[in-house]
Chain A
């Protein structure tokens, strides 16, 4: 709470958000990312947690954003879409590789026998 790491290593929730953006492609925006994370990881996070992370990732230069057109389903509000920057793709790739390398061959031991 008092000490937040400034290092460029991605936190696990940041990774989930980046994967969500990557998976959703052109449809990557707050609500969709939230639902994607909920559906795939089972984590029912609040929308503001998603936005906090999105903003932080954008600050770090890992995401870029654009603002879309207002729609009726949103009560006439606009939506903000996100996409990975090259740096974002690189950071996610690095995190994924690191995780996969560390997990290599251990999968069987994580599952209950």
Chain B
């Protein structure tokens, strides 16, 4: 802590103190501050702040002119006196103040929580130097082959040509991900990003310890070096200051740690930084020559002064040249660059803005409610206001006074809202961090506080302006003549009914949104994905290349693993596949059927290729339409999904015919054994044409094993992991989950969105019904006399109840009509976010409208019942 006075306090003082004595007061304060700071700095700062606040509240007189009896600038003075008055009023009527502040706290708190996520995800820059200059590079695949795919990974040879030929970039690096199993200690699989030579130059981040890779370490022979993340350094290396230079053993090979990256480097949602370690990409000469296989990502930094458009067109020009130079591999393959920021948040922007809009609607409803409360109170205070006016308070002055009251309440609500938001953020971000990039960074920072301040001010003004305007119009004579009598029925009635209309309409929009989302979620949960997810346990197993060098070794390992797993009690069947459905990713390859010539790559039909063991389909209960499943001992063979059969063979029967997968082998024609059901890769999308491949020899080591169990799948998980370790204790088993959990996991974003909308809609419904209730109660109170007379003249209870309920229903019905129009307008925004249901679904809309109608009636019943209990004698005697 410095021995300077608090800078903010000094700034405030300089602003508020009059010119004539600013210098002397600041000097005096600083002098005394230094004396006090010599004893205790915190105490001195507290003292300085106390002095500051007291001086701001009542700045000393400027050189007095004869008129300035009350010093300070007059506007600020009256505002401050209004604030003080408001506080006194609230102390006198705490329940009113509490009710208003609580409603606003909920509204502002919810808005703050959502805004803080929006802030973290959409507004805060990525933690790199000039993050807006960072772009990712992609191929644009030929549309005939990859319909609907906008971007594609790069091949090494193409990347190297881009790097060599382009001038728009200050550094360009390819990267990819591998899995290494830590074999010093217990086996643990770790994801490692293998990065090209320019990587650390492009991200412009220095290591916290040690260094990044030397140029010569990108030579495959010298590439057993690692840079580790701050998290790994803490969890696995005891945060040792001499970590650089230590060695670790992965898959039996020794790696040297050369550096540790700082903590904030991993604190963002870009995959290449969210790994525990980085290794050199170290392409071999053979790998560098691969042009046809697209397996690498790339990051680049735009040169200063080069704009994105220029870089994109340069990549297009280079790609065109490459198409001509290598037509068989590159025909139809374009190139593009997309800003990193856009890629990270692009998908969630719509969803987040939708939630922000929804929560803003809740705040609007809360405002309408509070306006109602203030209106009711202003009516009770008409006498006070009239007296003020009689004593010379102008209309503006009264307006300002009442508005100040509501703003003060909104500020209190805002302060409480920040606390609520803090709680909500702590609870919510853990759930979100996997699904919404950067959501875990959500926090209350200066921008969020500014938002709260703005929202509170706006809320206070919105809620207070109607009542304040009305109170300013109060007729002095009438009010004072009325004595203390309660006000008449008409006063404010129209305004109040308008507030009901608004509340009901806004609630309907929110309820409709929540309803549609709920139905969409249900549709996603119950969609037929083409396999049966119940009672399936999955585990990811990797037999690392380093120790299982020969394909035969891998094959043997998995054969014995399946045998052991099938022998476990409770396991009905077991099989493995390289990529399970719904988990994302997986290989997409061109396929050439026997008898037709291989076409240009850009015109070749492509299919999803899944390498699978025997009984994988049986385990997943993917139906065999015709033909037979793989059996152990089959050579290379394939099963095609119904849509793949139609795409590739049309009306011809594919069983017994053969096809080649040119990316794997141009010469190996593989026979088709059968046709199987279609399986979805993503719940909301169409099932892609898929080919299941049974391979005599396994070329890769990581697979997902699926077990069908007779009972609860989690029961066998321990035994299944033990079965793997019995075979090889140094193999890491990951991702042990039930398939149902995997599906739920995919739905987290939808579930979160739906949950929030439900909460908002529920809040809106409660607020709206409270609004209807309080307005009707107020109107009934005003019409007691009339109702009393009616009763005296023979009106029955039912008549009175009907009278009041109809009174409430009129604005509610109008609100529903307005709300339906609003919901239909909002539906266009929702359309892209829902699945299996239209955003303007008439059934949901009528259920919501009907429900709202019932709630409106229910909210009217209590005031109506109270009206029916009015005793005519008492009422008539009152006057």
Contacts and interface: CB of A to CB of B under 8 A. Distances in A.
Interface residues of A, number: 23
B32 A31 contact: yes
Contacts of A49: 54, 58, 60
A79 B50 CA distance: 21
Given A47-B51, A48-B60, A51-B60, A78 B28 contact: no
B824 interface: no
B23 interface: yes
Contact of A55 (B31, B50, B58, B61): B61
A55 B60 contact: yes
Contacts of A43: none
B254 to A, nearest CB: 61
B28 A73 contact: no
Given A48-B55, A78-B23, A73 B31 contact: yes
A31 B34 contact: no
B636 to A, nearest CB: 85
A72 B17 CA distance: 21
A71 B23 CA distance: 12
6 contacts: A30-B28, A31-B27, A31-B31, A46-B55, A48-B17, A52-B58
B24 A79 contact: yes
A59 B61 CA distance: 11
B396 interface: no
Nearest to A78: B23
Contacts of B64: 55-56, 59
B391 to A, nearest CB: 11
B26 interface: yes
Contact of B24 (A35, A56, A71, A80): A80
A80 B51 contact: no
A52 B30 CA distance: 19
A31 B28 CA distance: 5
A29 B31 CA distance: 12
Given A47-B51, A52-B61, 17 more contacts: A30-B24, A30-B28, A46-B50, A46-B54, A47-B25, A48-B25, A48-B51, A48-B60, A49-B58, A51-B24, A52-B58, A55-B61, A71-B31, A75-B27, A77-B23, A78-B27, A79-B28
Contacts of A56: 61, 64
A9 B17 CA distance: 28
B80 interface: no
B24 A46 contact: no
A23 B27 CA distance: 21
Interface string A15-32: 000000000000001110
Interface in A50-75: 51-52, 55-56, 59, 71, 73-75
Contacts of A109: none
A34 B21 contact: no
B59 interface: yes
Contacts of A40: none
**Interface-central residue, B32, B60, B71, by most chain A CB under 10 Å:** B60
Interface in B49-67: 50-51, 54-55, 58-61, 63-64
A4 interface: yes
Interface residues of B, number: 25
A83 to B, nearest CB: 15
B27 A74 contact: yes
Contacts of A59: 64
B29 A31 contact: yes
Contact of A30 (B17, B25, B50, B54): B25
A51 B21 contact: yes
A70 to B, nearest CB: 8
A75 B25 CA distance: 12
A77 B60 contact: no
A79 B32 CA distance: 13
Nearest to A80: B24
Contacts of A30: 24-25, 28
B69 interface: yes
Q: Which one of B25, B54, B55, B59 has the greatest number of beta carbons of chain A within 10 Å?
A: B25
A47 B29 contact: yes
Interface of A: 4, 29-31, 34-35, 46-49, 51-52, 55-56, 59, 71, 73-75, 77-80
B28 A47 contact: yes
Contacts, number: 76
Interface string B20-45: 01011111111110100000000000
Contacts of A74: 26-28, 30-31
Contacts of B69: 4
Name, among B28, B29, B54, the residue most crowded by chain A CB atoms within 10 Å (CB to CB).
B28
A52 B71 contact: yes
Contacts of B59: 48
Contact of A78 (B17, B24, B55, B63): B24
A2 B64 CA distance: 17
A55 B21 CA distance: 9
A72 B29 CA distance: 13
B17 to A, nearest CB: 8
B200 to A, nearest CB: 45
B58 A48 contact: yes
Contacts of B50: 46
User: Which 3 residue pairs of A and B lie closest in terms of their CB atoms, listed nearest first?
Assistant: A77-B27, A74-B27, A31-B28
Contacts of A34: 28, 32
Contacts of B32: 31, 34-35
B27 to A, nearest CB: 3
Contacts of A80: 21, 24
Nearest to A75: B30
A100 B60 CA distance: 31
A109 B267 CA distance: 74
Given A4-B69, A31-B32, A46-B55, A52 B27 contact: no
A77 B55 contact: no
Contact of A73 (B34, B54, B58, B63): B34
B599 to A, nearest CB: 81
Contacts of A75: 26-27, 30
B61 A77 contact: no
Contacts of A35: 32
A77 B21 contact: no
Contacts of B34: 73
A55 B24 contact: no
A79 B59 CA distance: 18
B28 A29 contact: yes
B52 to A, nearest CB: 9
A71 B31 CA distance: 9
B513 to A, nearest CB: 53
Interface in B197-248: none
A47 B55 contact: yes
Contacts of B23: 77-78
Contacts of A55: 21, 60-61, 63-64
A65 B21 CA distance: 12
A48 B50 CA distance: 12
A58 B31 CA distance: 23
A47 B69 CA distance: 20
A63 to B, nearest CB: 14
B24 A52 contact: no
A78 B31 CA distance: 11
Contacts of B21: 51, 55, 80
A31 B61 CA distance: 17
Nearest to B55: A48
Chain B CB within 10 Å, residue with most, of A48, A49, A51, A71? A48
A77 B58 contact: no
A80 to B, nearest CB: 4
A34 B60 CA distance: 15
Candidate in B24, B61, B64 with the most chain A CB atoms within 10 angstroms: B24
Contacts of B60: 48-49, 51-52, 55
Nearest to A76: B27
A76 to B, nearest CB: 9
Most chain B beta-carbon neighbours within 10 Å: one of A30, A47, A55, A56:
A47
A15 B642 CA distance: 102
